Structure 1
């Protein structure tokens, strides 16, 4: 008996060409990814290398490796500025802002995603409308409002501004993720006698942890690196954040670039370590969102 499932010579000859085409496609994608990685990481590499150079060495060979490990710039950062105080201010503002964003946006998104009530879609559009207009365009009325509330030059005023900036996108991300969770989980928890608060905190939110990590990283990075709002809202040196505090090395006529690069390198370390620690959950949240 002959095998009727055997492929024809034309089909078998087309398979190597198909595999070759897929291999070329994957190779091109890998090459583009490597090129993108080099483009993104090379400026960071130059910044770190420049932190070990003097001004003269930076101007004479800006892209070359340093001649030696010179820690004079690091000593200037610690001795000539309130670097630890600036970093502490940034940690406080970033941590408090991200925590408020997560609490408010998670509760709002949970109500919109898991409960059916009138005008729930309008409430979602209300939050999403905050993504359409950049808050920086409203800096004058925002400044006047904070001045009327005596919140200028305070941690609270800066934290509230960052919280208002982050809530719209956080509600959008959390709502989409929470809607994708199966309703059978809630129903089984209610059958077991759990109330609504227990269902939210012990059943649903642990499953939404990847989305919460995405929200945290998405908001922590711009808040940590922000220079605009501290420049407008903070005037006391004791309340300055890192991006604002590092401007002491930028003079009107002379800039100590080596010390500035050292400060920028130290400022980038905490947020880089945060991403490394949460990268697995961050990628898991992205892939789960793509599948769902």
Structure 2
């Protein structure tokens, strides 16, 4: 009896969780010409590609997708490698005050991001990084480092000390220890951190609308926000079709690398 209650409880919450996604898909497929202003619960036609075409032309989604792909890939990659170097230094190398270094780096995730907006805006304008691709990559990479460090560092603590000691007895230096031994051992945590940070950068709107303004610089979420605000006369189905399209890359990425999330939770030893 308890098993049936548990399964019924889980199914009920799964259905409630999926209702917004279901409504998004159904209304994104509704032809904009037949949309009456109220959400459709059942498909009344198939106008998804027409809606998507209008959204693509109105908000220049192609350029926004390219920018977000560039920012998310480079920033997450830079952050993950920086986190790997920092984790190796804190955990494997004989570093003093390891706890202090951990909290110093990880504290970047504890502060609300809104407090960075005003000083970042002023600093970016002063150094000519405002509304540039380089500026977007740098700020996203910096913001991604703390959480990536948290994931990689915690996984690196599960690597047995005997591995490092044996390698050092064989004459391995710090460079070889990092590149040839520890980095391959923690690759699952690196990929998991990359997926997390790629998803965050892709879905970010706050810094996208604060530090960029040109269509050839702004990320896709900023383009989607402009479509939702400046082109509201086009109708909700067009906006929803665009939202469904821009959500697909992160879903595909997560499903592709989902096995690394499970393996990153298992200790090396």
Name the TM-score, length of structure 1 as normaliser. Answer: 0.83
Shift of 1:121: 2.1
Corresponding position of 2:257: 278
Corresponding position of 1:11: none
Picking from 22, 25, 46, the partner of 1:69 is 46
Tell me how far apart the structure 2 counterparts of residues 69 and 253 of structure 1 sit (CA, whole Å). Answer: 21
- Contact 2:27-2:237 at 8 Å conserved across structures: yes
Shift of 1:57: 4.5
Structure 2 CA distance for partners of 1:255 and 1:109, relative to 1, 3 Å? same
Corresponding position of 2:148: 170
Which structure has the larger Rg over C-alpha atoms? 1
Unaligned runs of 5+ in 2: none
- Contact 1:250-1:256 at 8 Å conserved across structures: no
Picking from 231, 234, 245, the partner of 2:223 is 245
Aligned-residue Cα RMSD (Å) equals: 2.3
Tell me how far apart the structure 1 counterparts of residues 37 and 207 of structure 2 sit (CA, whole Å). Answer: 35
Tell me how far apart the structure 2 counterparts of residues 253 and 170 of structure 1 sit (CA, whole Å). Answer: 37
Tell me how far apart the structure 2 counterparts of residues 270 and 80 of structure 1 sit (CA, whole Å). Answer: 21
Structure 2 CA distance for partners of 1:29 and 1:183, relative to 1, 3 Å? farther
Tell me how far apart the structure 2 counterparts of residues 44 and 234 of structure 1 sit (CA, whole Å). Answer: 29
Structure 2 CA distance for partners of 1:284 and 1:59, relative to 1, 3 Å? farther
- Aligned residue for 1:223, secondary structure, equals helix
Q: How many residues align?
A: 267
Structure 2 CA distance for partners of 1:74 and 1:138, relative to 1, 3 Å? closer
Structure 2 CA distance for partners of 1:135 and 1:64, relative to 1, 3 Å? closer
Tell me how far apart the structure 1 counterparts of residues 5 and 75 of structure 2 sit (CA, whole Å). Answer: 41
- Contact 1:189-1:199 at 8 Å conserved across structures: yes
4+ residue runs over 6 A deviation? none
Shift of 1:43: 1.3
Tell me how far apart the structure 1 counterparts of residues 24 and 185 of structure 2 sit (CA, whole Å). Answer: 39
Q: Deviations over 1:170-206 (max 9, x none)?
A: 2222222111110122222233443322221221122
Shift of 1:46: 1.5
Shift of 1:232: 0.9
